[in-house]
Structure 1
């Protein structure tokens, strides 16, 4: 079983060139599967797995969220399909199953413009209240301002932000080069002077000795800023700003897309900026906020024109 998993991971890494994050998820899911088969079903090789073994594995996954279940089964299916293609004698037990894991559709969490204003206000007040302008604390505030301004200003993923290279940030011409999922490169313009100024101040104050091939966002030790550090910072910042709903770096991405839609921007342009390969992914943002919905129904509902004579 372990050798089969290693074959598939080798194929995924060197033949399909999948990302490190995907490979890590594959390895975790498949080793969990192997552990279940060995410990619970006494099955030690892939050809010995029956449809009933797979049914029991699906049952064991019921403690997870539907989205996680679906991902784990998709990983297993990918490996079984690969082995079926490579080995003529292998009979894929997955073909004997019809598994339908329904993932509930949930609207992505978003902030309104007032909540974004509150977070930015908290940051700039911290900056103005800081007595020393050269210490680590002040530099950390300047960096946090740049991080939040860029998250909200471009809608990039936190992984993309943390991987952003100094050489990919062109503040003179106002754009960044982002490498998204699947290694796809996209250019995002930065047209708001407040965002550019925040990035310039951070670069001037914190990156004076950095090399072009280093990451743009670094911690106080000079190492790459981690996604987890950004998540912790954003969570604390939201609480300081009096926002009780869960706020993550990805919330800024959802908010960016939703507010652009409410301003009337074509969804295809938003798709390009966000780096979605499919328009269907971008369409999760086509929900309408409660405030916007109220304005629409007050001003455009056809009932307002009807006059009833009794």
Structure 2
């Protein structure tokens, strides 16, 4: 890609609230090359664009400050703190968004250090206070069963789509897949005899995840339809109309249609099925490490959030059913 094309792509991908610049910040070519590398490593377009916006802001801040001497990329914690205070106080971003920007800067500087373009990482040891992390939203097992066990429509055209959609969402819930992982699957990634699916996750990391029997049955029913629809593609889930790989947006819309047909008024979205997979499996097994492996989390602290979800559910059951909890509530209302 030429420098002009890189700049054009950067400008069109940046949010509208960024100040317009005809000239990119200094060392932007280094940042853009790193972002291109992330795209090749299976990072989502949303993540890459978020990193792009953060680095554009941060490198522009360095440009405007004119305080750094020598190595232009040799920032320290004070520089980072000043940048983040501007983002939090002037721009009004939330602490969780600031933490996401720190993550982008941390990864960028790790790349610079690895390639000899920087000596230190300004994010090392930096801590930002934030609000408690919101727990993922979960629906119960009965609602998931109501969604996935709904009867096939009588209309033939709708029935064919139901067969495909049920296979998609059974697989998502059965194996805890991200939406991008689901749409990226090819037919050779599943082995129904062994009951496994090979998943390409973030950072091009592969993992092998079991497939439940209901998902196996749904996929077995769907595959003959897929073979009739596809047009020279290895994609597992394809459009009946176009014969091409389904987009993430198409999957989102199909889940809403499936929920509507089942009479479910909850806001269902694909990642909710991954949350439910983790919470329901952890509640039944108690095996945090196994759930971590199946989700593809590099850090177990990310998986531990589901233990809090499970505990919250337990406390709600306790509050509603334990006689002493009920008695205490009655007394406090007097």
| TM-score bin, normalised by smaller chain | 0.7 to 0.9
Matches within 5 A, 1:1-310: 2=25, 4-11=27-34, 13-14=36-37, 18-21=41-44, 22-34=47-59, 41=64, 46=72, 55=82, 58-61=85-88, 62-79=91-108, 86-87=116-117, 94=122, 100-121=128-149, 124-125=150-151, 127-130=152-155, 132=156, 135=157, 137-192=158-213, 194-208=214-228, 210=230, 214-219=234-239, 220-286=241-307, 287-288=309-310, 292-293=314-315
- In structure 2, the gaps of 5 or more residues are 1-23, 325-334
Q: Tell me, yes or no, if the aligned pair for 1:12 and 1:18 is still in contact at 8 Å.
A: no
Q: Structure 1 residues 22-31 or 45-54, which shifts more?
A: 45-54
Indicate the SS of the match to 1:178. strand
Give the Cα–Cα distance (whole angstroms) in 2 for the partners of residues 190 and 97 of structure 1: 41
Change (3 A) 1:98 1:182: closer
| CA deviation after TM superposition for structure 1 residue 161, in Å | 0.5
| CA deviation after TM superposition for structure 1 residue 4, in Å | 1.0
- In structure 1, the gaps of 5 or more residues are 302-310
Q: Tell me, yes or no, if the aligned pair for 1:33 and 1:57 is still in contact at 8 Å.
A: no
Scaled by the length of structure 2, the TM-score of the pair is 0.71
Indicate the SS of the match to 1:106. coil
Q: Structure 1 residues 16-25 or 138-147, which shifts more?
A: 16-25
Q: Tell me, yes or no, if the aligned pair for 2:139 and 2:276 is still in contact at 8 Å.
A: yes
Give the Cα–Cα distance (whole angstroms) in 2 for the partners of residues 269 and 300 of structure 1: 35
Count of aligned positions: 291
Give the Cα–Cα distance (whole angstroms) in 2 for the partners of residues 210 and 186 of structure 1: 26
Give the Cα–Cα distance (whole angstroms) in 1 for the partners of residues 271 and 257 of structure 2: 15
Indicate the SS of the match to 2:285. coil
Change (3 A) 1:117 1:8: same
Give the Cα–Cα distance (whole angstroms) in 1 for the partners of residues 235 and 223 of structure 2: 11
| CA deviation after TM superposition for structure 1 residue 27, in Å | 2.0
| CA deviation after TM superposition for structure 1 residue 278, in Å | 2.3
| CA deviation after TM superposition for structure 1 residue 149, in Å | 0.9
Scaled by the length of structure 1, the TM-score of the pair is 0.75
Change (3 A) 1:213 1:168: farther
Change (3 A) 1:236 1:34: farther
